[in-house]
Amino acid sequence: MEKPAPLGFGLGLRPKHYMEILEGNPPVDWFEVISENYMIPGGQPLRMLDRISERYPVVMHGVSLSIASTAPLDMDYLAGLKALASRCKPKWISDHLCWTGVHGVNLHDLLPVPYTEEALRHVSDRISRVQDYLGRRIAIENVSSYIEYEGSEMEEWEFVGELARRADCWLLLDVNNVFVSGFNHDFSTHAFIDAVPAERVVQFHLAGHSEANTHFIDTHDEPVKEEVWDRLCARPSPLRTRVHHDRARR
Amino acid sequence: MKPSLADIQHAMLKGIMHPGHNIDPLIKNPARDTKDVMLGVYRYAYVSRLREFLANDHEKLSCYMGEAAFATMSKAYVAKYPSDQPNARWYSRHLPEFLAATPPFKKSPELAELALLERALNDAFDAPEAAHKTFDDLAAVPPEDIAQAQFAIHPSARCITVVTNVTGLWSSLRCGEQPPSPYRLDEPQEVLIWRQGSSSRFRLLGKEESMTLAKAQEGLPFGVICEMIAMMDDPDTAAIRAATYLRGWIEAELISDIRLA
Ligand SMILES: [Fe+2]
């Protein structure tokens, strides 16, 4: 199992930066693109992506794979994802450990799964099928969550680690999401981060969150909090990190 | 018996979309607040995210209606149309028909037309790619073959018919000016929407040009189109009128191919 080579520090690609990037060749190591924003027929966004992916490594980050959903895999979506990948040649493709809908409805949100053996089997089987179809390993990101299910049989970090082993996939560790969920569910963020199988982590996400009265909300639009940096810096591992502080369209 | 993963997802979906639907038994007692508050994060996000999609796609409409009225309208749209697409890009696609059919919005037909115009401009923006032919390409067609020539129109091009002064409203909203009062036109107006370079554009079309463009889009040879133009108005100037339209289309990058049968 050979991990993709470290890429350094990346940034989320946003339309308002297209010209700045093409005219200035900023010293950014790589860009992360929201897959769905480029799963369109044509026009300026795709032309810009073509030009930027000629100059910089890119990774694709999706929000609609809905890997944990009990609805059938959306083959049209997967075909679109595969076509985009052959166009921009990403170093890897990621999406979230979540479901976004069921029964033909898309909630456009990243909903958590119960941490059960049933869900483990279901999600690892779907990741394997997606990986077979795309012909490559994908990276799965932990989400921030606001509820936990009554039926959960294990901790989130146990679920994530076991899932990665069973599905033989990569992980994208969102450190901010660990903080948000850890605060909301009162678990130790250290325990989470230390338990995640480091050999499978290909990328980190850092972003800020806002603090509501009693809970944290992942808004991805605040500056990165001090404690998130501290936690990340304490971890001995080559960083492939993307700092994002604006909102993805999802 | 423990609920299955499918049961849990079914219940969560209902609990998020319909806040009255009680799913408390599925949820662990939260560490920080009540179940209602924590589930409320998802319930609030669901509605506000879909509203945000509408506002992103319909900036001018939102500006024209005003924030409060747009929010009320969005709430009704969200209740009627759950998203069925993985890509947010297409969430707002029913808005023109919704505004045309739903009171009180249907009493103001310019609302549906503004949504339709914005929708068409958005669609043109990321429509499929195609080349555009130049005057040199046209000049390369031997004169004896021009009657046989078929012109492929750029795939972003689309005509809509409007019955209000919606194009005037759109233009003043774009400039940040106070929009004029809405009114009904004396007769329906054709509007062409397309992409030139990387920008979406629109312009008004006369009846004859609109018919000519539609026939070209159908793939009729230029000679046949000229004969049809001759029947619509003065036959002596038909060839000049046809050439004028063609010239305009080439300038606008609307001709993506010239084929000789
Ligand atoms: Fe993230």
Select the residue from A46, A97, A107, A144 to test the B interface by mutation, using most B Cβ atoms within 10 A.
A107
Residues paired with residue A211 on neighbouring β-strands, in sequence order: A216
Q: Do the Cβ atoms of A186 and B32 come closer than 8 Å? A: yes
Position B149 scores a pLDDT of: 95
* Claim to verify: residue B38 and residue B90 sit in the same structural domain: yes
Total structural domains within chain A: 1
In degrees, rounded to 5, the angle at the alpha carbon of residue B60 between the alpha carbons of residues B54 and B64 is 105
Greatest alpha-carbon pair distance for chain B in Å reads 85
- Is residue B102 included in any domain, yes or no? no
* A66 touching B (Cβ < 8 Å): yes
The partner residue sitting opposite B89, judged by closest CB among A40, A77, A184, is A40
Domain boundary among B71, B94, B117: B94
Chain A residues in contact with B88 by the CB 8 A cut-off are: 36, 108, 249-250
In sequence order, what are the residues at sequence separation of 6 or more whose Cβ sits closer than 8 angstroms to the Cβ of residue B111? B61, B64, B65, B99, B105
- Is residue A152 included in any domain, yes or no? yes
Residues paired with residue B27 on neighbouring β-strands, in sequence order: A149
Q: Which residues of B161-188 are buried (b: 16+ CB within 10 A; e: fewer)?
A: ebebbbbebbebbeeeeebeebeeeeee
Domain boundary among B94, B124, B149: B94
- Is residue A168 included in any domain, yes or no? yes
Count Cβ atoms below 10 Å from residue A109 Cβ, excluding itself.
Answer: 18
**Domain boundaries, position A152:** 10-174+197-205
Nearest CA in chain B to A107: B46
* Claim to verify: residue B252 and residue B133 sit in the same structural domain: yes
Question: Which tens digits make up the pLDDT trace of A128-152?
Answer: 999 999 999 999 999 999 999 999 9
* Claim to verify: residue B88 and residue B112 sit in the same structural domain: no
Asked if A186's CB is within 8 angstroms of B32's CB, the reply is yes
Task: Mark which residues 127-146 of B lie under 8 Å from A by CB.
Answer: 127-129
In sequence order, what are the residues at sequence separation of 6 or more whose Cβ sits closer than 8 angstroms to the Cβ of residue B27? A147, A148, A149, A150, B35, B38, B39
Question: Which tens digits make up the pLDDT trace of B172-203?
Answer: 999 999 999 999 999 999 999 999 999 999 99
Position B1 scores a pLDDT of: 77
Chain B residues in contact with A154 by the CB 8 A cut-off are: none
- Is residue A180 included in any domain, yes or no? no
Structure tokens at B67: 């924030």
* Claim to verify: residue B80 and residue B122 sit in the same structural domain: no
Q: Do the Cβ atoms of B151 and B246 come closer than 8 Å? A: yes
* Claim to verify: residue B80 and residue B165 sit in the same structural domain: no
Low-confidence ranges of chain B (pLDDT < 50): none
Nearest CA in chain B to A185: B31
Position A217 scores a pLDDT of: 67
Asked if A39's CB is within 8 angstroms of B83's CB, the reply is no
Nearest CA in chain B to A247: B49
Q: Do the Cβ atoms of A150 and A112 come closer than 8 Å? A: no
SS (H, E, C) A39-62: CCCCCHHHHHHHHHHHHCCEEEEC
* Claim to verify: residue B149 and residue B229 sit in the same structural domain: yes
Total structural domains within chain B: 2
CATH code, A66? 3.20.20.150
Task: Mark which residues 145-174 of A lie under 8 Å from B by CB.
Answer: 146-152
Position A234 scores a pLDDT of: 44
* A108 touching B (Cβ < 8 Å): yes
Residues with CB under 5 A from ligand 1 (ion): A 174, 205
**What's the gap in Å between the CA of B83 and the closest CA on chain A?**
5
* Claim to verify: residue B84 and residue B2 sit in the same structural domain: yes
Peptide bond into B19 cis (omega under 30): no
Chain B residues in contact with A118 by the CB 8 A cut-off are: 4-5
Spatial distance between the Cα atoms of B9 and B3, rounded to a whole number of angstroms: 10
Spatial distance between the Cα atoms of A127 and A166, rounded to a whole number of angstroms: 9
Q: Within its chain, how far is the Cα of A236 from the centroid?
A: 21
Domain boundary among B49, B67, B94: B94
- Is residue B33 included in any domain, yes or no? yes
Asked if B85's CB is within 8 angstroms of A151's CB, the reply is no
Instruction: Identify the CA nearest to B9 among candidates B17, A127, A186.
Output: B17
* Claim to verify: residue B134 and residue B246 sit in the same structural domain: yes
Ligand 1 centroid, distance to A122 Cα (angstroms): 23
Position A214 scores a pLDDT of: 63
The partner residue sitting opposite A69, judged by closest CB among B9, B84, B91, is B9
DSSP B20-58: TS--GGGBPPPSSS-HHHHHHHHHHHHHHHHHHHHHHHT
CB pairs under 8 A between A and B: 145
Q: Do the Cβ atoms of A90 and A59 come closer than 8 Å? A: yes
**Domain boundaries, position B72:** 1-94
- Is residue B101 included in any domain, yes or no? no
Question: Which tens digits make up the pLDDT trace of B195-236?
Answer: 999 999 999 999 999 999 999 999 999 999 999 999 988 989
* B49 touching A (Cβ < 8 Å): yes
* Claim to verify: residue B160 and residue B78 sit in the same structural domain: no
* Claim to verify: residue B130 and residue B77 sit in the same structural domain: no
Q: Do the Cβ atoms of A13 and A52 come closer than 8 Å? A: yes
Position A249 scores a pLDDT of: 31
- Is residue B100 included in any domain, yes or no? no
- Is residue B211 included in any domain, yes or no? yes
Position A206 scores a pLDDT of: 84
Q: For residue B163, give the 3-state DSSP assignment.
A: strand
ipTM value: 0.91
Q: Do the Cβ atoms of A87 and A50 come closer than 8 Å? A: yes
Task: Mark which residues 28-47 of A lie under 8 Å from B by CB.
Answer: 36-37, 39-47
CATH code, B215? 3.90.930.50
Q: For residue A139, give the 3-state DSSP assignment.
A: strand
Low-confidence ranges of chain A (pLDDT < 50): 231-240, 243-250
* Claim to verify: residue B207 and residue B260 sit in the same structural domain: yes
Asked if B27's CB is within 8 angstroms of A107's CB, the reply is no
Position A236 scores a pLDDT of: 39
Q: Do the Cβ atoms of B5 and A120 come closer than 8 Å? A: no
Position A247 scores a pLDDT of: 35
- Is residue A222 included in any domain, yes or no? no
Spatial distance between the Cα atoms of B254 and B107, rounded to a whole number of angstroms: 36
Ligand 1 centroid, distance to A218 Cα (angstroms): 9
Count Cβ atoms below 10 Å from residue B191 Cβ, excluding itself.
Answer: 21
Position B155 scores a pLDDT of: 97
Question: Which class for B68: exposed (0-12), middle (13-18), buried (19 or more C-beta within 10 A)?
Answer: exposed
Task: Mark which residues 66-105 of B lie under 8 Å from A by CB.
Answer: 82-89, 91
* A215 touching B (Cβ < 8 Å): yes
Q: Do the Cβ atoms of B202 and B167 come closer than 8 Å? A: yes
Select the residue from B7, B22, B126 to test the A interface by mutation, using most A Cβ atoms within 10 A.
B126
Q: Given CA atoms A110, A113, A119, A124 in this order, what sign does their dihedral have?
A: positive
Count Cβ atoms below 10 Å from residue A153 Cβ, excluding itself.
Answer: 15
The partner residue sitting opposite A40, judged by closest CB among B45, B82, B126, is B126
The partner residue sitting opposite A109, judged by closest CB among B46, B91, B198, is B46
φ/ψ of residue B194, rounded to 5 = -160, 175
* Claim to verify: residue B207 and residue B129 sit in the same structural domain: yes
Instruction: Identify the CA nearest to A38 among candidates A21, A67, A60.
Output: A60
Task: Mark which residues 208-247 of B lie under 8 Å from A by CB.
Answer: none
- Is residue B112 included in any domain, yes or no? yes
